[in-house]
Structure 1
Amino acid sequence: MTRVDFYVLPGADASARRVFACRLAEKAWKAGHRVFIRVNDTAEAGILDELLWTFRQGSFVPHTLADNYPNDPLADVLIGTGAAPEAFHDFLIDLAPGVPEDWARYRRIAEIVDQDEAVRQAGRQKYRFYQSQGMEPSTHKID
């Protein structure tokens, strides 16, 4: 069964959501998971691609854009706008609005929500969806 966690950030800063996603991706990768970060568009994918190298001093998270996979088979973190390749079913970090079509194939989903009204509304809709599927999402307020 899929585990869903909602991480609620205090501000409405999109860059804070991205940095938090990078921290989660690094933690999951270090724990041995393959991670897919789902974003809304290619511009956002490019921002995260750069940020994964620079979000903190000394950070190293082997990653690539989903369009480059499988040409870069050593990357354990992928960033993309659609469905992840089959090999990436451990951990989904979801920054895109709407529930991913392939949500049920993931072992764990992290939804990152901030105080931006559109992001909050999308988060509420996702929360209700997961509940309607018989799941009990956990909520974590981040300071």
Structure 2
Amino acid sequence: MSRIEFYVLATDRPADRLRAACQLAMKAWRHGLPVFVRAADTDQCAELDEQMWLFKKDCFIPHNQHSDDPLAPVVIGVDEEPSAQQGVLINLNTTISPHVERFSRIIEIVNQQPDLLTVCRENFRSYRQRGYDPKRVEL
């Protein structure tokens, strides 16, 4: 069963969620795990793509959008089916991925925006109802 963690940021800035996604993607990639970063929409996919290019000046995160290369070490997409099995899903979308069972680890990134907090609390309960044991991690 997948390990599910809700990483909770202390700020309400959307840019901090993207930065955390880049940081977590880099860490998982460095540990040899395939990564799928699930964005809210195509605009956020483009923003994530840009952020990964700029994230660290001394390190490149090998990434691509799903439409360009679904087999990249770090894939950015929305609801496309992941090509890799048992990797890490970093979810920036407000809904639970339809492909949860394909990942060994799911990371939901939460900030202090009231609407997002409400949705993430509902998702936390939904994971529990599905038989998962989600954990909360303070960042």
d(CA) in 2 for partners of 1:112, 1:101 = 17
Q: Which amino acid is the alignment partner of residue 29 of structure 1?
A: W
Residue 61 of structure 2 corresponds to 61
Match of 2:77 in 1: 80
Is there any run of 5+ residues in structure 1 with no aligned partner, and where?
none
Dislocated runs of 4+, deviation >2 Å: 83-86
Q: Give the secondary structure class of the aligned counterpart of 1:107.
A: strand
- 1:2 maps to 2
Map 1:15-54 to 2 at 5 A.
15-54=15-54
CA shift for structure 1 position 83: 2.8
Could you tell me how far 1:59 is from its partner in structure 2?
Answer: 2.5
Contact 1:83 1:100 in 2 (8 A): no
Aligned residue for 1:67, secondary structure, equals coil
Alignment of 1:99-138 (within 5 A): 99-138=96-135
Q: Which runs of 5+ in 2 are unaligned?
A: none
Q: What is the rounded CA distance, in whole Å, between the counterparts of 1:99 and 1:51 in structure 2?
A: 23
Considering only aligned residues, what root-mean-square deviation do their CA atoms show, in Å? Answer: 1.2
Aligned residue pairs: how many?
139
11-20 or 88-97, larger mean C-alpha shift: 88-97
With the length of structure 2 as denominator, give the TM-score of the two structures.
0.94
Q: Secondary structure at the match of 1:64?
A: strand
Matches within 5 A, 1:86-97: 86-97=83-94
TM-score, structure 1 as length reference: 0.92
